[in-house]
């Protein structure tokens, strides 16, 4: 399964197991070795670092079948990613938000609603369950696998079974990986500016790590815009859960009953905003910002490698193409609407 950025929301219902340093060692070591290999290959063959890390991680996904690697892979795919996002805040200032303007944020809300509505509406066309389509649409519109986990805790296994949920996670992970590879190339072919490419990538790629990586693979300014746009999408998870909760409460087949909806923002978004605010108010020394940028890149690489190693790609072979229809519809809709929004900037 992909990284759970919003895992905090389920800690109360599912308390995490306690691990010793020895439990983390195997997963951390294989992730670090794979990341070093990706860095070496990217440096010697002029291949994007994030893309190489993803490919090597997918090639080593069989290692996740060893239970000894689970704790370390979870640590790298969750905690490393969150800390990396916090450190990316050192590259962001309020001036960049002002330069971006209010229009992109309004477009993000419109895109989020449109992706969910269109995906759910298309479910009947492909003879798919509307709750599974809601899961795919909501996860695509917000932040990929992490939003899927939060949504699934709200929708419940009585509406969407565990097998379908796992399939959605795999499909979203693969779609996000392909998008991270293709969207920067398409943005370059279309002649988009850094701001337009950053908006397109940040508004359409599902998972946080891939969106940030795809943005920086286009250019550093595009990566900064993609980070702002993507984290704004993540912040929209709470209001989206409220809307989904209200819709489920009024649906005729409400079998799960009333569900408490979590509304708090996770600590890594608050940390990102705090560092960005400090960077806007005071001049942070250049050695610190350079070190933060290097550390963020390393942590994001580790997170991507670990996330790819946890992917269960073999499940794709056991499903018919119709099962992926909601994910395909949501992904294509998100890309087209984001491209239209980018062209308006």
Instruction: Mention every residue, 6+ apart, whose C-beta is less than 8 A from residue 80.
Output: 299, 300, 302, 303, 306
For the entire predicted model, the pTM comes to 0.66
107 with 340: CB under 8 angstroms? Answer: no
DSSP per residue, 258-323: --PPP-PPPHHHHHHHHHHHHHHHS---HHHHHHHHHHHHHHHHHHHHHHHHT--GGGGGGS-GGG
pLDDT digits (tens, 9 = 90+) for 296-337: 888 888 887 887 787 666 655 565 667 778 889 999 999 999
Between 114 and 102, where is the model more confident? 114
Per-residue pLDDT at 341: 92
Q: Is the pLDDT of residue 86 over 90?
A: no
Dihedral pair phi/psi, residue 279, rounded to 5° = -65, -25
Please give the distance of CA 242 from its chain centroid, rounded to a whole number. Answer: 20
Report how far residue 41's alpha carbon sits from residue 49's, in angstroms, rounded to the nearest whole number.
8
* Local confidence band at 10 (pLDDT 50, 70, 90 cut-offs): very low
pLDDT digits (tens, 9 = 90+) for 180-191: 889 999 999 999
pLDDT digits (tens, 9 = 90+) for 110-132: 999 999 999 999 888 887 788 88
Sign of CA dihedral 257, 263, 264, 269: positive
Can you give the C-alpha Rg of the chain in angstroms? Answer: 19
The CB-side HSE value for 146 (13 A sphere, CA atoms) comes to 29
Q: How many residues does the chain have?
A: 345
pLDDT digits (tens, 9 = 90+) for 249-279: 766 554 444 444 444 566 777 787 788 888 8
* Local confidence band at 3 (pLDDT 50, 70, 90 cut-offs): very low
Percentage of residues in the chain with pLDDT exceeding 90? 17
Q: Is 176 exposed, middle or buried (0-12, 13-18, 19+ CB in 10 A)?
A: buried
């Amino acid at each position: 399964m992909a990284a759970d950025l919003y895992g905090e929301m389920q800690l109360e219902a599912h308390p995490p197991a306690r691990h010793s340093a020895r439990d983390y060692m195997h997963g951390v070591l294989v992730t670090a070795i794979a990341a070093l290999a990706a860095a070496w290959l990217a440096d010697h063959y002029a291949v994007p670092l994030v893309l190489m890390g993803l490919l090597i991680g997918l090639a080593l996904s069989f290692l996740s079948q060893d239970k000894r690697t689970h704790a370390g892979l979870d640590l790298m795919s969750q905690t490393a990613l969150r800390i990396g996002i916090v450190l990316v805040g050192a590259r962001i200032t309020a001036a960049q938000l002002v330069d971006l303007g209010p229009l992109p944020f309004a477009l993000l809300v419109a895109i989020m609603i449109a992706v969910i509505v269109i995906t759910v509406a298309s479910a009947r066309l492909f003879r798919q369950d509307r709750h599974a389509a809601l899961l795919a649409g909501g996860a695509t519109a917000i932040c990929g696998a992490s939003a899927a986990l939060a949504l699934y805790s709200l929708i419940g296994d009585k509406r969407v079974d565990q097998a379908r949920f796992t399939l959605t996670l795999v499909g979203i992970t693969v779609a996000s990986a392909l998008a991270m590879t293709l969207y920067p190339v398409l943005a370059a072919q279309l002649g988009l500016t850094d701001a337009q490419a950053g908006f397109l990538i940040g508004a359409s790629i599902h998972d946080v790590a891939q969106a940030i990586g795809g943005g920086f693979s286009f250019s550093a300014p595009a990566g900064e815009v993609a980070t702002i746009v993507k984290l704004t999408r993540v912040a929209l998870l709470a209001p989206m859960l409220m809307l989904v909760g209200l819709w489920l409460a009024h649906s005729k087949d409400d079998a799960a009953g009333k569900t408490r909806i979590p509304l708090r923002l996770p600590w890594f978004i608050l940390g990102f905003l705090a560092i960005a605010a400090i960077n806007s108010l005071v001049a942070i020394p250049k050695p610190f910002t350079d070190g933060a940028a290097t550390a963020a890149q390393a942590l994001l690489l580790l997170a991507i490698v670990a996330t790819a190693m946890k992917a269960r790609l073999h499940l794709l072979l056991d499903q018919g193409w119709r099962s992926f229809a909601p994910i395909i519809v949501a992904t294509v809709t998100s890309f087209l609407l984001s491209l239209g929004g980018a062209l308006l900037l």
